[in-house]
Chains A and B, each alone.
Chain A
Amino acid sequence: MNAIQHITLAQLQGRISIALAEALPLPVWVSAEVADIKINASGHCYIELIEKNEKSGATEAQARATIWRSQVMSTIGRFEQESGQRLTKGMKILFKATVQHHAVYGMSLQIQQIDAMHTIGDMERRKQLCIEQLQKEGVWDLNRSLTMPDVVQRVAVISSATAAGYQDFMKELGRSAYRIETELFEATMQGERCDESIVAALYAIAERSEEFDAVAIIRGGGSTSDLECYNSYNLAFAVTQFPLPVLTGIGHDKDTSVTDMVAHTPLKTPTAVAAWIDQRAADFDGRLEYHAISLRDICRQATHSAALRLENFSAEVRHLAERTLQSEKQRLDGIATLVANFAPERIFRLGYAIARKEGKALQSVENVDVGDVINIAIADGELNATVVEKRKAENIAPIKNGI
């Protein structure tokens, strides 16, 4: 009986171990994506590593990695301190590891060090891609092109209800002299999938967009934080498409996220957003005050100039009236003098006399005959006389009055 030559599984695993140790005797630097990460009860950290095809997304390689409890602080702690990011699922990392092989558990990588710069660079690269994509699609300035109302009085707030940043925001608004109405749309503001949560809140607001003037996306008060989701294409795209102007107070000072870049008005912190809203209302109030003062001034000036004009009118009326009265007086004086000239007393005073025959004043010698008795009126009485001679005017001579 010919038994086929073979080795046992344990022997095979032993050989693999030896081969691996010979092939990879020293730690190697490896780049991969974190597919999952957990720290178990005993404090050891287990990471699922993956490499996907850039284009298709299909998994091309996969491996398990371990960071022993004693190494967690020096490896993960240092990485998080240097990158400012929490080590999470989806992150691209570059790490130094040794390859271990165990007859029962198979191959695993023991991570000794993670390079923060690689992850930062990768994030930066993805951020740039996201920016380029939004610009290429022509949506980059869409939200900024919306008109911010002069007074932002009804604010839809996206935040977590318990966040310190939200409390700061409400406290600052409470100090405002203006009544600003807010409605909270709760969302998860950090960690994995927070972008989806914020986008869901945006959708909820969009359905009631006519009830609000603007949206404030606020977060803050956290310590080190992952801002990765604020560079998410989906979130940034939703902001560009949003029907209301978006204010951000995401609470970071080092870097500006893509969400901030596409928002209508990006501000540093939730408190700054509240202060901005208050200031905008105050500015508008100031403009109203200015217009009120201008209006009052214009009215004053108008009434003043009208009063001046009336004053002029009144002076002119007085002048014209006086002139009319004066000229009328002169006219009457003239007339009076004229009339006085015709008064009989004056005529008599000048030495003239009126001769009458049978009571009628004589204006011609034709009607008078020699021997007629005529009556002559002079200044201080009358004379009756008899005509002794009559002559026509050709050879007129002083009249001889026969008495």
Chain B
Amino acid sequence: MTYKEAIDEINAILKSLREEQNSIDTLSERVARATELIALCREKLRKAESDVNKVLEE
């Protein structure tokens, strides 16, 4: 999964959380999914940061 795909999915979840009436039943599931995706993005961001630093040092 790419960073962009992850972000798109997080945005989709946020949108559903904001709008959908019927969200209570799957709420914790979606929050958990969003949290997991955020962690994934953070990891990707950290990796990108360290890669950028490594490249710039060369």
Interface on A for B, CB 8 Å cutoff?
Answer: 314, 317-318, 321-322, 325, 328-329, 332, 335-336, 338-340, 342-344, 354, 360-361, 363
Which range holds the interface residue count of chain B? 20 to 34
A332-B35 contact in complex given A325-B52, A339-B14, A344-B28, C-beta closer than 8 Å: no
Q: State how many angstroms separate the Cβ of B12 from the closest Cβ of chain A.
A: 12
Interface majority SS (helix, strand, loop, mixed), chain B: helix
Can you give 25 contacting A-B residue pairs, CB < 8 Å?
Answer: A314-B56, A317-B56, A318-B56, A321-B52, A321-B56, A322-B52, A325-B45, A325-B48, A325-B49, A325-B52, A328-B41, A328-B45, A329-B42, A329-B45, A332-B38, A332-B42, A332-B45, A335-B14, A336-B38, A338-B17, A339-B31, A339-B34, A339-B38, A354-B24, A361-B25
B2 at the A/B interface (Cβ < 8 Å)? no
A335-B10 contact in complex given A343-B31, A344-B28, A354-B24, C-beta closer than 8 Å: yes
B13, B21, B35: which contacts A336 (Cβ < 8 A)?
B35
A360-B49 contact in complex given A332-B38, A339-B13, C-beta closer than 8 Å: no
A342-B35 contact in complex given A325-B45, A325-B49, A328-B45, C-beta closer than 8 Å: no
Interface on B for A, CB 8 Å cutoff?
Answer: 10, 13-14, 17, 21-22, 24-25, 27-28, 30-31, 34-35, 38, 41-42, 45, 48-49, 52, 56
Q: State how many angstroms separate the Cβ of B35 from the closest Cβ of chain A.
A: 6
Q: Which residue of A has the minimal Cβ distance to B6?
A: A332
List residues of chain B with CB within 8 A of the CB of A360. 25
